[in-house]
């Protein structure tokens, strides 16, 4: 009887023809993680709506709402990543004849792959919301970088800014004594032309960043003649209105800067949360794989 002799040299191993990646388990874990993410996101949105109120002195403050939202998003990321990784580890193909260190590495890698796939799924489902957030941050950054002149010119073209400009014009043209003002004050060809001149001066000054000396002198004279104020009182009124305009521009810039910082903070917090979510998914997969092997009785204690 002939005994077969192995032709493989001593001390060598044969490579398995099967892939070490269990794509079925990875996809299953990713789908579960994505579903949990969407579910918890909707739950958080519903709870958030109950925290705010259109009435003053009711509901939580904007800061509290923003902090609560950020914390909830972090919790959602970690819970969904951990669950998806655990499911991946429990469903992956059993590996035999593999060192325990290699098993741990494969389980961790499977968890990270499941997290990455789930992230892509959620990003695709919520792509419009992410794009809107990034776009808001970019727009706010551009507004702040442009400075007061560009902000003033851009603001002058909007409906809200046009209403504000009309208010400032009315403030300048108010008569010194409303009781003795003509019945047609503010109306008619003369009044409309004066208001238009004042409006153009203000808009041009906002675009240029400052009012020229000639425009300022003419504006003082125009207000004094139109309202019946003395030259000193007219100049004081113009100073007060110009200060109000400058304060409004500063508030607009502060609001834009706040939006920029909020967008940057949200982006950084989201990136950190995703990184930790990947780690949590790897740990969950390693835990799930270890429990699977223990149940099958093949886990070798380290």
Which residues touch 146 (CB under 8 Å, ≥6 apart)? 154
Q: Which of 106-110, 128-132, 147-151 is predicted least confidently?
A: 147-151
Tell me how far apart the alpha carbons of residues 223 and 215 are, in angstroms, rounded to a whole number: 12
Q: Which two tokens stand for residue 5?
A: 């002799």
Question: Which residue matches tokens 């469903």?
Answer: 91
Q: What is the mean pLDDT of residues 266-278?
A: 85
Look at residue 52 and give its three-state secondary structure: coil
At 149-159, the pLDDT tens digits run 444 444 444 55
- pLDDT exceeds cutoff 50 at 302: no
- Is the pLDDT at 15 greater than 60? The verdict is no
**Beta-carbon contacts of residue 123 (< 8 Å; ≥ 6 apart):** 130
Once rounded to an integer, what is the mean pLDDT over residues 70-97? 88
By C-alpha distance, which of 83, 61, 65 is closest to 73?
A: 65
Q: What tens digit of pLDDT does each residue of 241-263 get? A: 888 888 888 888 888 888 888 77
Least confident range from 98-102, 188-192, 262-266: namely: 188-192
Encoded tokens for 201: 């001066």
What whole-number distance in Å separates Cα of residue 47 and Cα of residue 60?
Answer: 12
Please tell me what DSSP assigns to residue 178. Answer: G
Q: Which two tokens stand for residue 195?
A: 């208001």
Report whether pLDDT(281) > 90. yes
**pLDDT band for position 49 (cuts 50, 70, 90):** low
Residue 30's pLDDT is what? Answer: 93
According to the model, what pLDDT value does residue 188 have? 44
Of the pLDDT bands very low, low, confident and very high (cuts 50, 70, 90), residue 288 is very high
Among the listed ranges 36-45, 55-64, 113-122, 218-227, which one has the minimum average pLDDT value?
55-64
Q: How confident is the model at residue 114 (pLDDT cuts 50, 70, 90)?
A: very high
- Distance CA(148)–CA(252), nearest Å, equals 9
pLDDT digits (tens, 9 = 90+) for 194-204: 788 788 888 77
Question: Whole-prediction pTM value?
Answer: 0.57
């Amino acid at each position: 009887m002939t005994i077969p002799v192995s032709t493989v040299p001593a001390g060598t191993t044969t490579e398995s023809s099967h892939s070490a990646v269990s794509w079925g388990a990875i996809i299953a874990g990713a789908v579960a993680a994505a579903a949990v993410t969407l579910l918890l996101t909707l739950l958080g949105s519903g709870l958030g709506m109950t925290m705010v109120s259109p009435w003053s002195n009711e509901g939580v403050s904007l800061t509290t709402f923003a902090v609560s939202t950020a914390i909830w998003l972090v919790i959602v990321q970690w819970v969904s990543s951990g669950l998806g990784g655990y499911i991946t580890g429990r469903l992956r193909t059993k590996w035999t004849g593999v060192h325990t260190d290699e098993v741990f590495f494969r389980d961790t890698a499977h968890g990270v792959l499941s997290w990455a796939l789930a992230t892509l799924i959620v990003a695709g489902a919520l792509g419009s919301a992410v794009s809107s957030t990034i776009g808001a941050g970019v727009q706010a950054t551009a507004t702040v970088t442009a400075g007061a002149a560009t902000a003033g010119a851009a603001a002058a073209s909007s409906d809200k800014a046009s209403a504000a400009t009309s208010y400032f014009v009315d403030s300048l043209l108010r008569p010194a004594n409303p009781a003795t003002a003509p019945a047609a004050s503010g109306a008619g060809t003369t009044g409309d032309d004066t208001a238009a001149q004042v409006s153009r001066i203000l808009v041009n000054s906002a675009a240029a960043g400052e009012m020229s000396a000639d425009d300022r002198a003419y504006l003082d004279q125009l207000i004094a003649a139109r309202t019946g104020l003395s030259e000193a009182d007219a100049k004081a009124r113009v100073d007060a209105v110009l200060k109000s305009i400058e304060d409004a521009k500063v508030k607009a810039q502060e609001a834009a800067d706040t939006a920029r910082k909020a967008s940057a903070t949200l982006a950084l917090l989201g990136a950190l949360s995703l990184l930790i979510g990947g780690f949590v998914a790897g740990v969950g997969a390693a835990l799930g794989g270890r429990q699977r092997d223990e149940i099958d009785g093949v886990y070798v204690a380290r």
